[in-house]
Structure 1
Amino acid sequence: MADQSDLMRKNWAGNLTYRAADLAEPTTIDEARELVARSRSIRVLGTRHCFNDIADTAGIQVSLAGLPQVIEVNDTRDAVRVSGALRYGDVAPVLDAQGLALANLASLPHISIAGAVATGTHGSGDRTGSLASAVRALTLLTADGDVRTVARGDADFDGAVVSLGALGAVLDVTLDVQPSVPYAQHVFEHPRWDAILEDLGAVTGAGTSVSIFSTWQRTDAADQVWVKQAEPDATRDGREALMARLSAVAATHRRHPILSESAEAATEQGGVPGPWFLRLPHFRMDFTPSAGAEIQSEYLVPRADAIAAIEAVRAMADRIAPLLLVNEIRTVQSDDLWLSSSYGTDVVALHFTWRPDGPAVRALLPRLEAALPASARPHWGKVFTLAGDEVRARYPRWSEFAALRDRLDPERTFVNEYLERLGL
């Protein structure tokens, strides 16, 4: 059995072994400042949930999980300042105990706040932005050892939030919060694809958060639609009528997004109301999420290109299905953050959880990426093969971000091979 140090040298899913020379774990801000100031090459390591080498380096990795933990709600109770290394699953119960909530959560609560924000990770909802869109301010430890706070409205803010770890180490993040309300989760099975695509907006608008799951073993129907709805629910009749039009039936027991996996790891379903943080994620904090051993890719397209993107995947079903554990389709509202995959446009996200066969997945991805609309932006923390110049072309503010990086890290202390491939 691998010891803990061996496990820390791999990412969460085990598809990547880090090549960093050392892992540093400072316990005070002063220790972190000294470490960064004397390092020539350094990258911050979060909960190791990224599936590519975005957090790797030939130099030193640093974990900030040992720094003093902070969860501070402000006096007006509309924001909370939290340590960047904390996980959403650590913060959510504390907020809920004070009658507060975040607007959304990702599919799993196991990920660090700073890492999720830096990679543009998201939940789902036609009227809900990515996790990064909730950021009100963040505190950066920059390459020269300085600590600076960037707040919403500051000149650098929109470039500093989704940062790919290129600007420095995020010490803390201030997030918007709102009053807590209960949620319920409903699962429907075997919706017809033709009916979904006839009115995709109605489907993705059927709840606060909606996910469509498919293994693409068949092309006439998806496997499941998960609808997460804030209570009290005034949409029940319309949702039931919509599911009837899709020929979808309510699940009779709890489901996992990957049908071959135990549903014990999934959050409560069946329309049973409960706390927001126990319904918005797909997976429970005390269980291994998803399949565990897997590879993930994701591409986000403007809503105008969504039907074409889904049809492209549908046309490749015979090549995708043998490698696929599940494909999830969901939506994210637009924002103004320069490197956000939803910058300037509402998007539909096509997420792929692959079997842990790296060579086969990497052989398939160029074909998939060529078939998708040219507007598709890959998720920063997942596996993609698009060339750096192609990726840069899909972000109108890329040159401004590069200039911001040059100002904050002129010696390229936080640069690694991943960023070099992107032209940074």
Structure 2
Amino acid sequence: MSTHRNWAGNVEYAARAYHRPSSIDELRELVAGSDRIRAVGSGHSFNRLGDTTGDLVTLAGLPASVQLDEQRRVVDVPAALRYGDLATWLHERGYALANLASLPHISVAGAVATGTHGSGETVGNLATAVAGLEMVTADGELHVVDRAHPEFAAMVVSLGALGIVTRLTLDVVPTFDIRQYVRLDLPRAALDAALASAYSVSVFTDWRSTRGTQVWRKQLADQPPPPADWLGTTAADRPWHPVPGMPVVNCTEQFGVAGPWHERLPHFRLGFTPSNGDELQSEYHLPRAVAADALAALDEVAHLVAPVTLTSELRTIAADDLWLSPQYGRDSLAVHFTWIADATAVLPVVADVERALAPFAPRPHWGKVFTLTRAEIASTYPHWPDFAALVARLDPTAKFHTEVLDHLFPR
């Protein structure tokens, strides 16, 4: 058995074998002949969604061609490609993606499958850019689907439960520049205005007060800078890192210096360690309309949250129609927690947070730490029974199941 761990080091994969196929045919044969199999991307999941006791497959050995169709405004990419590498390639050709996550180190297929997102009141998560995909299903067959397929909305954010995605087609837009400003000490009463104030906005807090410790405003370069007294905050007079004490050289450039979209929308530079590294993470997606009440509920457990939190981030994401997207059918507020790397101390607090948020129909980020039950999660997704039926039809022997999927979609 080969030993592999996820990025954070908190999950040691239990696979009996680790494979690196060099062709689609080799992958198809491997999938058809395995009883349990999963694809692993950049390892940025903090739970066992990507783990298996069977065969673990990296797609990094498959053909790595990237094809831009300027007429259709789409780009066709291999599943294992990192967003940061794709972004650089696109920008050199005059194109961009509408948004990026806070770190560019993640693989395209893994981020899409888990509904990973950036920030922006009018911008959807990364999966909303998917115009088509190729997938190897349990029988070893390769399927090509696009937005015209009747089950497309189920196949994009699919948690890897339907098959192994080998390529994706993504919408692109003309390249653009962003200026990033960091503001400090945001009053809670100004949160809504802050989140709606720029193309992409993140508000960080430590839960030791109701104020935002940092606001990262990523605005289009042709927009005027925020005034000196913007929403009662002060302008940062030095570079900041979301996690206090971490090296600021890891972070994308601040102080309103204009730069390409892919060098400003993420919080972290591609060539540096993202976030803290030695950490756990949780995130919950709530209806945007209940943000004030949900945050007030979290204030009640803030004294439990603060001691085990490195930083916490608030972001907004636009609604979409993808069945298992955390933003399905509702504009959303994402409440993210970067915890200390101590599961014994953190997991009870995760449960406290979930109890506080229970009245607001929280949806967990699929790739992060949560303790919500299947019933609690399923009740927030109108298409949950439809997706479960599709999983049973396309993967009748639960070949792509993991510990997490066994919990969510038991057989």
Asked if these proteins are the same fold (TM beyond 0.5), I'd say yes
Q: 1:31: Cα distance to partner?
A: 0.9
Residue 9 of structure 2 is aligned to residue 14 of structure 1: yes
Residue pair 1:341, 1:378 contacting (<8 A) in 2 also: yes
Q: 1:406: Cα distance to partner?
A: 1.9
Q: 1:43: Cα distance to partner?
A: 1.0
Residue 286 of structure 2 is aligned to residue 301 of structure 1: yes
Counterpart of 2:370, as a letter, is F
SS of corresponding position for 2:133: strand
Identical pairs, percent:
49
Counterpart of 1:87, as a letter, is R
For 2:257 and 2:6, how far apart are their aligned partners in 1? 34
For 1:19 and 1:134, how far apart are their aligned partners in 2? 33
Q: Which residue does 2:203 correspond to in 1?
A: 212
Q: Which residue does 1:328 correspond to in 2?
A: 313
Residue 270 of structure 2 is aligned to residue 285 of structure 1: yes
For 1:375 and 1:252, how far apart are their aligned partners in 2? 39
Aligned match for 1:347, one of 319, 332, 336:
332
Query: Higher mean Cα deviation, 289-298 or 70-79?
Result: 70-79
For 2:274 and 2:195, how far apart are their aligned partners in 1? 23
Aligned match for 1:80, one of 33, 51, 75:
75
Alignment map for 1:107-186 (pairs within 5 Å): 107-186=102-181
Q: 1:58: Cα distance to partner?
A: 1.1
Q: 1:167: Cα distance to partner?
A: 0.5
Residue pair 2:301, 2:352 contacting (<8 A) in 1 also: no
For 1:332 and 1:170, how far apart are their aligned partners in 2? 24
Q: Which runs of 4+ in 1 moved over 3 A?
A: none
SS of corresponding position for 2:85: helix
Q: 1:220: Cα distance to partner?
A: 4.1
Alignment map for 1:19-418 (pairs within 5 Å): 19-76=14-71, 78-193=73-188, 195-197=189-191, 200=192, 202-217=193-208, 219-234=209-224, 236=225, 239-240=226-227, 244-245=230-231, 247-372=232-357, 373-418=359-404
Counterpart of 1:360, as a letter, is A
SS of corresponding position for 2:71: coil
Deviation string 1:329-369 (CA, Å, 9 cap, x unpaired) is 00000000000000001000000000001111111111110
Residue pair 2:287, 2:360 contacting (<8 A) in 1 also: no
For 1:324 and 1:17, how far apart are their aligned partners in 2? 23
SS of corresponding position for 2:404: helix
Stretches of structure 2 that go unaligned for 5 or more consecutive residues are none
Give the superposed CA RMSD: 1.2
For 2:210 and 2:387, how far apart are their aligned partners in 1? 43
Counterpart of 1:395, as a letter, is Y
Q: 1:309: Cα distance to partner?
A: 1.5
Residue pair 1:109, 1:281 contacting (<8 A) in 2 also: yes
Residue pair 1:15, 1:293 contacting (<8 A) in 2 also: no
For 2:39 and 2:360, how far apart are their aligned partners in 1? 31
Residue pair 1:124, 1:210 contacting (<8 A) in 2 also: yes
SS of corresponding position for 2:305: helix
Counterpart of 2:265, as a letter, is L
Residue pair 1:389, 1:423 contacting (<8 A) in 2 also: no
**Number of aligned positions between the proteins:** 408
Residue pair 1:162, 1:337 contacting (<8 A) in 2 also: yes
Counterpart of 1:232, as a letter, is D
SS of corresponding position for 1:190: strand
Do the aligned partners of residues 32 and 232 (structure 1) sit closer, same or farther apart at CA in structure 2, a change above 3 Å counting? same
Residue pair 1:77, 1:177 contacting (<8 A) in 2 also: no
Q: Which residue does 1:420 correspond to in 2?
A: 406
Residue pair 2:294, 2:360 contacting (<8 A) in 1 also: no
For 1:211 and 1:394, how far apart are their aligned partners in 2? 25
Counterpart of 1:196, as a letter, is A
Deviation string 1:181-229 (CA, Å, 9 cap, x unpaired) is 1111010011122x225xx1x2111100000001123x14221000001
SS of corresponding position for 1:47: coil
Q: 1:50: Cα distance to partner?
A: 0.2
TM-score, with normalisation over the residues of structure 2? 0.97
Residue pair 1:191, 1:248 contacting (<8 A) in 2 also: yes
Counterpart of 1:383, as a letter, is V
Stretches of structure 1 that go unaligned for 5 or more consecutive residues are none
Q: 1:77: Cα distance to partner?
A: 5.2
Query: Higher mean Cα deviation, 70-79 or 319-328?
Result: 70-79
